[in-house]
């Protein structure tokens, strides 16, 4: 990957809502914009592929109010969403609860590694095989540091993507 037009793309996938961590991705986009010099994140973009849930209107209003429309794109629902997910450099799986997120497996199959938060369910199991990096729940600084590492080390993203794919294929 990498970086299409020099951009590092972090994406979310699924229903954009509080439970799936849409607000956390938006906060990370805001923090990355505010700390661009420190993090080297001026070339970072954030995207969400999927349906907007019940609370999405408030989340979208917050994104607009924070001036993040140029950093966080909502791509909506698509007939073939994995084609868009394949353009991510990393899937940010920031769900608050998800016993075994299908998005993580689907991203792995198209060569995208996952960054997930601890305690949400299945990501720890997936990370055990090397296919995901796991950070503490709701720790924006940890998410940003992990994204910084993944941005700077494309070889690590490649290793994680390969490990994730092997994990998914082994479970089939």
Query: Once rounded to an integer, what is the mean pLDDT over residues 19-36?
Result: 87
Given a cut of 60, is residue 45 above it in pLDDT? yes
Given a cut of 90, is residue 86 above it in pLDDT? yes
Number of continuous H segments (helices) and E segments (strands) in the chain: 8, 6
CA 36 to CA 51: how far, in whole Å? 29
Residue 2: per-residue pLDDT: 46
Residue 9: per-residue pLDDT: 95
Burial of 9-19, coded b for 16+ CB within 10 Å and e otherwise, reads bbbbbbbbbeb
Structural tokens at position 2: 């990498």
Residue 11: per-residue pLDDT: 94
- Separation of CA 83 from chain center: 15
Residue 3: per-residue pLDDT: 53
Given a cut of 70, is residue 34 above it in pLDDT? yes
Query: Once rounded to an integer, what is the mean pLDDT over residues 134-160?
Result: 93
State pLDDT tens for residues 93-139: 998 877 667 888 899 999 999 998 887 666 666 666 777 889 988 89
Given a cut of 60, is residue 10 above it in pLDDT? yes
Residue 92: per-residue pLDDT: 93
Query: Once rounded to an integer, what is the mean pLDDT over residues 29-51?
Result: 89
pTM of the model: 0.88
Residue 111: per-residue pLDDT: 93
């Amino acid at each position: 990957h990498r970086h299409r037009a020099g951009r590092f793309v972090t994406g979310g996938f699924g229903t954009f809502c509080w439970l799936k961590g849409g607000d956390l991705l938006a906060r990370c986009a805001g923090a990355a914009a505010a700390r661009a010099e420190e993090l080297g994140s001026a070339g970072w973009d954030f995207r969400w592929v999927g349906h907007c849930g019940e609370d999405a209107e408030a989340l979208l209003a917050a994104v607009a109010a924070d001036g993040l429309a140029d950093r966080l794109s909502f791509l909506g629902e698509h007939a073939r969403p994995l084609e868009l997910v394949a353009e991510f450099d990393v899937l940010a799986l920031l769900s608050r609860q998800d016993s075994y997120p299908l998005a993580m497996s689907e991203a792995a199959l198209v060569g995208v590694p996952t960054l997930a938060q601890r305690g949400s369910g299945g990501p720890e199991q997936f990370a055990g095989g090397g296919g995901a990096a796991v950070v503490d729940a709701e720790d924006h600084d940890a998410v940003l540091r992990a994204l910084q590492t993944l941005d700077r080390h494309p070889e690590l993203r490649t290793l994680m993507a390969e490990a994730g794919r092997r994990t998914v294929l082994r479970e089939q």
